[in-house]
Amino acid sequence: MGIDAGLTDIAITSNGLKTSNPRFLKNAQRNLKRKQKVLSRCKKGSKGRAKARLLVAKAHERVAFARNDFQHKLSRQLVDENQAVVVETLKVKNMLKNHCLARSIADAGWHSFVIKLDYKAKQAGKHLVKIDQWFASSKTCSCCDRKQEEMPLNVRSWTCDCGAVHDRDINAAINIKRQGILKLKAEGLSVSADGGQRKSGTLPVAA
């Protein structure tokens, strides 16, 4: 299964399924701001400030817990349903330098999600494949492999010169899957007739 990460949809799979981003931090922002405002008005060193600080910390903890629980369930489902999961190598630290998207990127929690996929796959004896971050998954036609010169982020669907009409994210996920299969083959796995992979002496597995 190829997975393209996004902000509106946290995971877009190569079979066309999209999982909406719950945006836990954004949804809790009003509550967090109210508690932080109360904290800022408390006198330093007072019992009231200590209590307000604890309430802010607990609110952040609830956000982190909800995101963590969501990621555990989604990563478990993806690993259980597939023998190989393919993702892009995302440089989240560099992406956070974009001040316009930094909060949304942090809220999505891509890095921690991939970590969960990784260790769950290892525990299950399955594969997590990370492809090159520079691979043009969104700009390459999954039908004819023709690469578009430009693909701004606001373009969510596009038509290739070959006539294929693409949903940007699903097209990217399909290309990610194919790159993952090539990488697995290079590591000694072969592609079976039904699209799975297998290694000599082991049962077939599917990407």
Prediction pTM value? 0.81
Predicted confidence (pLDDT) at residue 194 exceeds the cutoff of 80: no
Examine the residue annotation and report whether 169 is marked as an active-site residue of this protein: yes
For the chain, the domains span 2-20+83-206
CA distance 108 to 12: 13
Number of other residues whose CB lies within 10 A of the CB of residue 120: 18
Q: Which of 4, 145, 150, 187 is catalytic?
A: 4
Question: Which residues of 9-149 form beta strands (DSSP E)?
Answer: 9-13, 18-20, 84-88, 127-131
Q: Which of 9, 80, 88, 167 is catalytic?
A: 88
Q: Which of 9, 61, 149, 169 is catalytic?
A: 169
pLDDT in tens, 113-168: 999 999 999 999 999 999 988 899 999 999 999 999 888 888 999 999 999 999 99
Examine the residue annotation and report whether 4 is marked as an active-site residue of this protein: yes
pLDDT in tens, 172-183: 999 999 999 999
